[in-house]
Amino acid sequence: MSESRLAPTNPIEYRYAVHSCGYKWDLTDKPDRAVALFEHHSAAQKFGSLMWPSTFEVIDVITGEKV
């Protein structure tokens, strides 16, 4: 049974991926995977700036460009 107060999740709506970019501090040599997806770029920017203020990047998953 699904919770009636939760809207259905549509992955296509989550266009902005936040990456922590640990490679910028030589913390990893592996490709940096997205740690969060957001529907709005402003929410993605805010999340990234709070979690990793000096290294994060937000990528538009549709165009592949940095936001």
**Both structure tokens of 65:** 């460009």
pTM summary value: 0.83
Pairwise CA distance, residues 44 & 66, whole Å: 12
Determine contact, residues 58/17, Cβ cutoff 8 Å: yes
| pLDDT band with cut points at 50, 70 and 90 for residue 1 | low
Radius of gyration (C-alpha) of the chain in whole angstroms: 14
The H helix count followed by the E strand count for the chain is 1, 3
pLDDT digits (tens, 9 = 90+) for 5-51: 988 889 899 999 999 998 889 988 888 899 999 999 999 999 999 99
Pairwise CA distance, residues 55 & 31, whole Å: 14
